[in-house]
Amino acid sequence: MNRRKDLGSWQAAKAAGEKLVMITAYDHPSARLAQAAGIDGLLVGDSLGMVVQGRSDTLGVSLEAMVYHTEMVARGAPECLIVADLPFGAFEASPEAAFAAAAALLKAGADAVKLEGGLPMAETVRFLSERGVPVIGHIGLTPQHVRQLGGFRRQGTGAEGAARLAREAEALAAAGARMVLFEAVPAELAATLTARLPVPTIGIGAGAGTDAQILVWHDVLGLSPRPPSFARTYCDGAGLIIDALGRYAAEVREGKFPPT
Ligand code: KIV
């Protein structure tokens, strides 16, 4: 078994100063490849609304879609930690609603759920944690709040923003969150909070000082038309696929495939 399946090993890695690696995954073949590459944890992110379903934000993603994708990913990477996002509308109304949604994701194969939101979500994090649901808090830029934030904007800036982010991170950890994810926040702030928090932190667009890093599958593999500036693209996936498909099409049209 991969030694990162168990959340306790993430806590031990933080204590040992070992960096942890996550990527999003949405289906069985990508989960299988990520596990083969030695990735520690996979997030079935509601970013699937944008990169898989072609929406302009994540708000339209349903719990049913999250369950469907979580099942595929969990089957593909049984040795990785599998985290599934609680989608917008499935958890905010009450801790009980959050528990029902989280239970569906755990039954689908998730090892933990991630939810967006700071102080208002602390009670829900406690409720879930006390009932056997490992929770990861997601603060900073929370894409589910994009309409309230007025766009995909950097967060935690200025003294007031930094103080609020610190309060949120500490409240989530105190409520039982097993990890805290920082998205699009100043690197120095994320590093300071990482040193202060008792639980591992995950960063995306939050500098090099968090315990773990995460990126979106399509950004890493060159499949996003406009990857965010903080992402790094490790291959020209779109170019490779278009080239392969073009050669296949040409060979069919030229009578070279199938062979006679
Ligand atoms: O949904 C997602 O992919 C995420 C990552 C951007 C952290 O929440």
Write out pLDDT tens, residues 13-27. Answer: 999 999 999 999 999
Domain contains 258: no
Q: What is the pLDDT, as a whole number, of residue 108?
A: 98
Mean pLDDT across 89-109? 98
Whether 183 is catalytic is: yes
Out of 71, 168, 170, 183, the active site residue is 183
| pLDDT at residue 201 greater than cutoff 60 | yes
Tokens of 26: 């949405």
Written as one letter, the residue type at 239 is: G
- Burial group, residue 15, by CB count within 10 angstroms (0-12, 13-18, 19+): exposed
**Rounded average pLDDT over 163-167:** 98
Which pLDDT value is given to residue 230? 95
Domain count, the chain: 1
Is the whole model's pTM more than 0.95, yes or no?
yes
**Tokens representing 131?**
């009932």
- Residue 47 Cα to ligand 1 middle (Å): 5
* Residue 45 beta carbon below 6 angstroms from any ligand 1 atom: yes
Question: For residue 43, what is the domain's CATH number?
Answer: 3.20.20.60
DSSP designation for 239: H
Report the share of the chain in percent with pLDDT over 90: 97
Structural domain includes residue 130? yes
Ligand 1 pocket check: which of 42, 69, 114 to mutate, most ligand atoms within 8 Å of Cβ? 114
User: Rounded CA gap, 211 and 258, in Å?
Assistant: 50
Determine the atom of ligand 1 nearest the C-alpha atom of 114. Answer: 8
Determine the average pLDDT of the residues in 79-108: 98
- Decide if 259 is inside a domain: no
Distance CA 141, CA 176 (A): 21
204 lines ligand 1 (CB under 6 A): yes
pLDDT in tens, 3-61: 699 999 999 999 999 999 999 999 999 999 999 999 999 999 999 999 999 999 999 99
Report if residue 2 sits inside a domain: no
Q: What is the mean pLDDT of residues 186-214?
A: 98
Q: Residues 6 or more apart from 237 whose CB is under 8 A from it?
A: 218, 221, 222, 223
Say yes or no: CB of residue 216 within 6 Å of ligand 1. yes
Which residue range forms the structural domain that includes residue 133? 7-253
Average pLDDT, the chain: 97
pLDDT for residue 111: 98
- Is 86 domain-assigned? yes
Residue 6 contacts residue 78 (beta carbons within 8 Å)? no
- Using a 6 Å cutoff on CB, does residue 46 contact ligand 1? yes
Could you tell me how many helices (H) and strands (E) the chain has, helices first? 11, 8
Single-letter residue type at 156: G
Min mean pLDDT across 114-123, 126-135, 148-157, 168-177 is at 148-157
Residue percentage of the chain with pLDDT more than 70? 99
- Verify whether ligand 1 is closer than 6 Å to residue 194 (CB atom): no
User: Does residue 2 carry a pLDDT above 60?
Assistant: no
Looking at residue 1, its pLDDT comes to 45
Specify if 133 maps to a domain.
yes
